[in-house]
Amino acid sequence: MDHASLQSFIKTIFIIVLVYYLFRFAFKFLAPFLLKKAVSKVSENFQKQQQAYQNQNNQQTQQPDFESELKQNKIPKERKKVGEYIDFEEVD
């Protein structure tokens, strides 16, 4: 049966440390690129939603409702004059 030697243990630790630093080094250079890409994608989605909302509002203002046309076509009725406005004051 083979026993683990000190040399193979040190070699394993060296490989683990090397992989750790390689990931750290790669992440240091890739993180800004990935974050920039994510932010631009979120910004693009926000702009699309904003534009869709504005288009929807423009369509609603260009196409008046049938009910609002009926209200505009009606002649306003004369209101009855009830009388003067009386301002009552509180008595202590």
- pTM, entire model: 0.43
Enter the tokens of residue 65.
């409702």
What's residue 64's pLDDT?
A: 55
The domain ranges of the chain are 7-60
Contacts 24+ apart (CB under 8 A), 61-64: none
Enter the tokens of residue 10.
């040190």
- Summarised one tens digit per residue, pLDDT across range 19-76 is 999 999 999 999 999 999 999 999 999 999 999 888 887 777 665 555 665 566 566 6
What's residue 89's pLDDT?
A: 83
Q: How far apart are CA 8 and CA 16, in angstroms?
A: 12
What's residue 1's pLDDT?
A: 44
